[in-house]
Amino acid sequence: MIGCRRIPSRYGLAPLAGYTQRPFRVALRQLGGMGLATTDLVHAVKLLSNNAFSQQLIATSPLDQPLSVQLFGADPTHVATAARWLEDLGYEGVDLNMGCPMAKVNSQGGGARLMCDPTGATKLVALVVASVSIPVTVKMRLGWDAQSLSAPLLARQFEEVGAAAITIHGRTRAQGFSGKVSREGIAATVAAVQSIPVIGNGDVRTVEDAISMRRETGCAAVAIGRGAMLDPWIFRKLHDFEMTGQYAEPGPEEQIQFLVTHFCEMVDLFGEQATRLFRKFAGWYGARLGIPQDLEDRLRRVESLSEFEEIVAEIRERHGEEPPRIPTALLKVPNGPNELW
């Protein structure tokens, strides 16, 4: 439970700017096992101004549940007003971003910069909680840098003013996405709160990573971002592992069908832009499916639905020419946040 919300799984999807929008989330949910998902972070002011791109970021559907919208902003009134607007539209949860390390967000006083002002950050959370009846959660890091590990203090204060849950990424803002996740830091945040769930996040790429994250930190749940890009079946595997102690890998046809489902969902949301936006996924699908290099190159340049269908037909015919692989190196982290926020 997060506040009054019943969440079907303790393993959920963490947002990756530009990658985990509605099409990917819906495709994942059709595989099973996924709990709470969170949208890409959305600028509260842009959302209130009816910015078209922000509207696209919060796009959802009945299949895309449970979902929270992640807001960022430095002005408590703007963020609270945006949260109230989302509740009026029927959204069932709001997540406040205090973890984004990007300079563009931090320079506006948002994201991880809020962690430098515990009093102001707590006032922001309190105002949003008081403005809505839906659960309000917070995503943050361990602190600004190694000398200011403020997450335990903030988590305790946020709980006191009504936050329903805390998601903690196990790095500081100074680390960005480099260096090792500190599970000790996540555990310290877990120990700081009285009763609300703390959700661990960072460097979870396998079933074993997720299980050990919970064991070593005591966190109630795990949010998986890049790991779900590497292995979209990770949520189903975790569900099966908890139910039976074992899990199976998807077969080639199921993996190809996931690619098709993802593409079709992108067409449904983005229309003619879908082919261009899908290109950035080509490398990941190429690795996962063992797609021959010439077909992967064509997928990177796909121009139309008919061309996509031709490429998929050839992938089915030529599957096995290259060994499928799940890359073990760090995924390239999106440069986000998106330019158009």
- Predicted confidence (pLDDT) per residue in 295-310, tens digit: 999 999 999 999 999 9
pLDDT (mean) for 55-60: 94
**Are 179 and 308 part of one and the same domain?**
no
Q: What is the tens place of the pLDDT at every residue in 245-286?
A: 999 999 889 999 999 999 999 999 999 899 999 999 988 888
Distances (CA, A) of 262 to 19, 90, 212, 232: 11, 25, 30, 11
The pLDDT of residue 327: 52
pLDDT (mean) for 127-132: 98
**Higher confidence at residue 316 or residue 157?**
157
**Are 90 and 198 part of one and the same domain?**
yes
**Are 66 and 163 part of one and the same domain?**
yes
Residue 26 domain-assigned (yes or no)? yes
- Lowest pLDDT segment from 203-217, 276-290, 291-305: 276-290
**Are 169 and 309 part of one and the same domain?**
no
- Lowest pLDDT segment from 16-25, 167-176, 327-336: 327-336
**Are 168 and 225 part of one and the same domain?**
yes
The pLDDT of residue 100: 86
Give the whole-number percent of the chain exceeding pLDDT 70: 94
Spell out the long-range contacts of 81-88 with Cβ–Cβ below 8 A and sequence spacing 24 or more.
81/44, 81/48, 81/131, 82/42, 82/44, 82/45, 82/47, 82/48, 83/44, 83/128, 83/131, 83/132, 83/134, 83/136, 84/131, 84/132, 85/47, 85/48, 86/47, 86/58, 86/132, 87/132, 87/133, 87/134
Q: Quick check: 39 and 57 in contact, CB under 8 A? A: yes
The answer to whether the annotation marks 104 as part of a ligand binding site is: no
Residues noted as catalytic = 100
pLDDT (mean) for 181-201: 98
pTM, rounded to two decimals: 0.91
Please report the DSSP string for 28-73 in residue order.
HHTTS----EEPPPEEHHHHHTT-HHHHHHT---TTS-SEEEEEE-
The answer to whether the annotation marks 180 as part of a ligand binding site is: no
**Are 308 and 204 part of one and the same domain?**
no
Instruction: Evaluate if residue 167 carries a pLDDT over 80.
Output: yes
pLDDT (mean) for 320-336: 54
**Are 111 and 199 part of one and the same domain?**
yes
- Lowest pLDDT segment from 20-24, 111-115, 223-227: 111-115
Task: Provide the b/e sequence for 15-49 (b: ≥16 CB within 10 Å).
Answer: bbbbbbbbbbbbbbbebebbbbbbbbbbbbbbbee
Residue 340 domain-assigned (yes or no)? no
Model confidence band, residue 199 (pLDDT cutoffs 50, 70, 90): very high
The answer to whether the annotation marks 43 as part of a ligand binding site is: no
* Average pLDDT taken over every residue of the chain: 91
Q: CATH number for the domain including 109?
A: 3.20.20.70
The answer to whether the annotation marks 319 as part of a ligand binding site is: no
Residue 339 domain-assigned (yes or no)? no
What are 62's two structure tokens?
Answer: 């009945």
Residue 257 domain-assigned (yes or no)? yes
Using CB atoms within 10 A of its CB, is residue 241 exposed (0-12), middle (13-18) or buried (19+)? middle
The answer to whether the annotation marks 120 as part of a ligand binding site is: no
**Are 218 and 262 part of one and the same domain?**
no
Provide the domain count of the chain. 2
Give how far the C-alpha of residue 71 lies from the chain's centroid of Cα atoms, to the nearest Å: 13
Residue 285 domain-assigned (yes or no)? yes
The rounded distance, in Å, linking the Cα atoms of 45 and 67 is 21
**Are 208 and 294 part of one and the same domain?**
no
Domain that holds residue 278: 252-318
Nearest to 70 by CA among 128, 31, 109: 128
pLDDT (mean) for 191-215: 97
